[in-house]
């Protein structure tokens, strides 16, 4: 715009300036011609006053007048011509034989009394301005002034005019450029600020220096920019909050349009659909699961009603719930994808837990109830009554052990940390467990031994540490064979304490190892109940190890024994 204004303003000023100057130059040139002709007319008027002398000696008077004019600085040629064109006298030559009757100025003087002409002289071969007047006696006086001088003066005039015009043009360009630059500077600042705002820099402002229309425009622009900045900051804040909320969600959020282009998604959505490269602007493609989700979203868009369905995930046994709805614009669908695998597993565990607890409680309660009914039904001898009392005592103890284990497991699962934890010696805990179970080992004809590094110190609840080791050693004794062995080792490996409980018992088939630490899971249910197991011992071991930052694992082969390994962080 600045260049355009400078160009248009300069052209207008230059045209007006040039027109005025050229008009003045033409006027000056015309004035020069008038002054030039006036000099010639004056000389002829002076010469016409010497009419008597002209008749007496034309040549002499012509030369005399020419001499006087030359002395006055006028190199003027004076000619006296008869009515028939003969040159009677001339200030430059004494005799001229050429007839001048056909000269334009002579013909005009004879016809009108005065005539002028400008041409190249055939006599002296020089450009002259001629003027002739006719006297009453028919003689024609002619004066000729060389045009060289006036040509030089006019040339100088036009040179001066050209220089002045060029100088004026430069001045006009400079002044116009300065004025336009000053006038358009606020507009340039406005343009620059608007460009910055379009690029996202909403802090750009324009300095208001003039109290005019442009100043008012700049003030309005600054107010608009400030409002826009505040609105964008509020929007950015809300957007960050929304994105933070969506990214922190455990569910995936996905939005697509009618052409299956992704409009929005969070990182959790990428994880659940198993497509890491899925991005905003991309297409909903890459897996069968993604195609199913897209189909549900299109159903929501078309029907306008929410659609909910459970789908299988990319991972084995993974279950996803997809809830799709149409957004208000009618061209976008939003889906919330939730991983319900854990929930399904918990529901399954709850169902199995209720079933197992019911089953475990039903067996001893049935035995207790049957024994009581038999005792009440008739008088029994002392030996029979003693037998039923033993059954009641045994089943009651089984119920007590089951309830104690369930309470212990519940406490362990609900505990986030143990305030009773302290520095415990693994050697001391193993020693006490071995001493307590040594009689049980003798009864089962199993040899029990241990070897623990004295430096094996863990941060644990002493009671729970003994409970964990006791459960493993007791299982190793119960599921052993006569003449077998059970050994307990406590080793230091890097920053961990490794406790190995190894037996030479019946072992465990590979298909059972994956579920071995589940509640109430038994490899051999009949044998477990026969020896009084509750099915919760190994589950308690696992939960105790996890509670105190450790792990538990097992290696076993049928008929070759088992090794249970508990790894706990060494206490600092």
Q: What are phi and psi of 340, to 5 degrees?
A: -105, 20
CATH number at residue 384: 1.10.287.130
Q: Is 166 a domain residue?
A: no
pLDDT band at 214 (very low <50, low <70, confident <90, very high): low
Residue 523, classed as helix, strand or coil, is coil
Q: Is 549 a domain residue?
A: yes
pLDDT exceeds cutoff 80 at 446: yes
Q: Are 57 and 88 in contact (CB under 8 A)?
A: no
Q: Are 293 and 251 in contact (CB under 8 A)?
A: no
Beta-sheet pairing, 87-90 with 77-81: antiparallel
- Going by C-alpha positions, the residue among 47, 81, 88, 52 that lies closest to residue 64 is 47
Same-domain pairing of 307 and 353:
no
Percent of the chain with pLDDT over 70: 76
CATH number at residue 256: 3.30.450.20
Same-domain pairing of 380 and 481:
no
Task: Name the token pair of 288.
Answer: 């069968």
pLDDT band at 124 (very low <50, low <70, confident <90, very high): low
Q: CA 455 to CA 427: how far, in whole Å?
A: 8
Chain CA centroid to CA 181, Å: 36
Q: Is 430 a domain residue?
A: yes
Mean per-residue pLDDT of the chain: 78
Q: CA 23 to CA 35: how far, in whole Å?
A: 18
The DSSP 8-state label assigned to residue 417 in this structure reads S
Same-domain pairing of 378 and 431:
no
Q: What is the pLDDT of residues 538-547, one digit of tens each?
A: 888 888 888 8
Strand partners, 144: 77, 130
Same-domain pairing of 519 and 544:
yes
pLDDT of the residue at 554: 92
Q: Is 102 a domain residue?
A: no
Scanning the structure block, which residue is given the tokens 């709805």? 325
Domain extent, residue 332, equals: 249-339
Q: What is the pLDDT of residues 510-544, one digit of tens each?
A: 888 888 887 767 666 444 455 555 667 788 888 88
Task: Name the token pair of 445.
Answer: 């004809």
Q: Is 509 a domain residue?
A: yes
Q: CA 505 to CA 340: how far, in whole Å?
A: 40
Higher pLDDT, 366 or 453: 453
Q: CA 525 to CA 266: how far, in whole Å?
A: 48
Same-domain pairing of 401 and 466:
no
Same-domain pairing of 379 and 425:
no
Q: How many CA atoms lie within 13 A of 324 on its CB side?
A: 26
Domain count, the chain: 3
CATH number at residue 428: 3.30.565.10
Higher pLDDT, 174 or 502: 502
Q: What is the pLDDT of residues 235-286, one digit of tens each?
A: 777 777 766 776 667 788 888 888 888 888 888 888 888 887 888 888 878 7
pLDDT of the residue at 552: 92
pLDDT of the residue at 202: 67
CA dihedral 58, 63, 68, 69 (to 10 degrees): 100
Final residue in a domain of this structure, among 373, 396, 411: 411
Same-domain pairing of 428 and 537:
yes
**Distance (Å) of CA 260 to CA 139, 265, 557:** 113, 13, 54
Q: Is 445 a domain residue?
A: yes
Q: Is 475 a domain residue?
A: yes
What does the pLDDT average to over 455-463?
A: 90
Element (H, E) at 87: strand 87-90
Same-domain pairing of 426 and 559:
yes
pLDDT of the residue at 30: 65
Same-domain pairing of 391 and 457:
no
């Amino acid at each position: 715009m600045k260049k355009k204004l400078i160009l248009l303003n300069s052209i207008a000023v230059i045209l007006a300036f040039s027109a005025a100057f050229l008009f003045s130059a033409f006027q000056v040139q015309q004035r020069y011609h008038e002054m030039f002709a006036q000099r010639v007319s004056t000389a002829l008027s002076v010469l016409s006053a010497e009419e008597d002398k002209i008749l007496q000696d034309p040549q002499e008077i012509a030369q005399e007048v020419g001499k006087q004019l030359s002395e006055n600085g006028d190199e003027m040629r004076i000619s006296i011509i008869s009515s028939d064109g003969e040159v009677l006298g001339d200030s430059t030559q004494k005799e001229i034989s050429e007839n001048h009757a056909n000269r334009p100025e002579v013909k005009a003087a004879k016809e009108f009394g005065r005539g002028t002409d400008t041409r190249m002289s055939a006599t002296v071969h020089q450009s002259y301005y001629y003027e002739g007047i006719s006297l009453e006696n028919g003689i024609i006086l002619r004066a000729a002034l060389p045009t060289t001088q006036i040509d030089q003066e006019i040339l100088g005039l036009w040179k001066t005019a050209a220089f002045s015009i060029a100088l004026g043009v430069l001045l006009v360009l400079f002044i116009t450029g300065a004025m336009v630059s000053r006038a358009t500077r606020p507009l340039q600042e406005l343009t620059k600020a608007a460009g910055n705002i379009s690029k996202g820099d909403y802090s750009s402002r324009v300095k208001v220096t003039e109290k005019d229309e442009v100043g008012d425009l700049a003030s309005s622009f600054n107010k608009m920019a400030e409002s826009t900045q505040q609105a964008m900051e509020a929007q950015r804040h809300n957007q960050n909050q929304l994105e933070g909320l969506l990214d922190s969600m455990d569910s995936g959020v996905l939005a697509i349009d009618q052409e299956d282009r992704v409009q929005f998604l969070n990182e959790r959505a990428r994880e659940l659909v198993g497509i890491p490269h899925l991005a905003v602007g991309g297409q909903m493609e890459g897996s069968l699961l993604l195609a199913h989700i897209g189909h549900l979203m299109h159903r929501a868009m078309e029907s306008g009603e929410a659609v909910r369905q459970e789908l299988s995930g990319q991972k084995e046994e993974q279950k996803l719930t997809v809830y799709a709805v149409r957004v208000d614009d009618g061209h976008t669908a939003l889906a919330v994808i939730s991983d319900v695998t854990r929930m399904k597993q918990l529901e399954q565990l709850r169902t199995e837990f209720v079933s197992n607890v019911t089953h475990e409680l039903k067996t001893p309660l049935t035995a207790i109830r049957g024994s009581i009914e038999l005792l009440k039904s008739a008088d029994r001898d002392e030996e029979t009554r003693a037998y039923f009392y033993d059954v009641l005592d045994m089943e009651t103890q089984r119920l007590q052990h089951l309830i104690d284990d369930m309470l212990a497991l519940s406490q362990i699962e609900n505990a986030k940390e143990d305030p009773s934890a302290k520095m415990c010696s693994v050697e001391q805990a193993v020693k006490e467990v071995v001493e307590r179970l040594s009689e049980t080992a003798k009864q089962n004809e199993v040899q029990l031994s241990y070897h623990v590094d004295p430096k094996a110190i863990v941060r644990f609840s002493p009671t729970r540490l003994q409970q964990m080791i006791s459960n493993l050693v007791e299982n190793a004794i119960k599921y052993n064979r006569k003449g077998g062995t059970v050994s307990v080792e406590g080793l230091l490996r890097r920053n961990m304490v490794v406790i190995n409980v190894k037996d030479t018992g019946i072992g465990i088939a590979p298909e059972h190892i994956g579920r071995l630490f589940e509640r109430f899971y038994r490899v051999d249910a009949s044998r477990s109940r026969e020896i009084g197991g509750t099915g919760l011992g190994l589950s308690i071991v696992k939960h105790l190890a996890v509670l105190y930052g450790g792990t538990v694992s097992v290696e076993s082969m049928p008929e070759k024994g088992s090794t249970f390994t508990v790894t706990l962080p060494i206490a600092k």
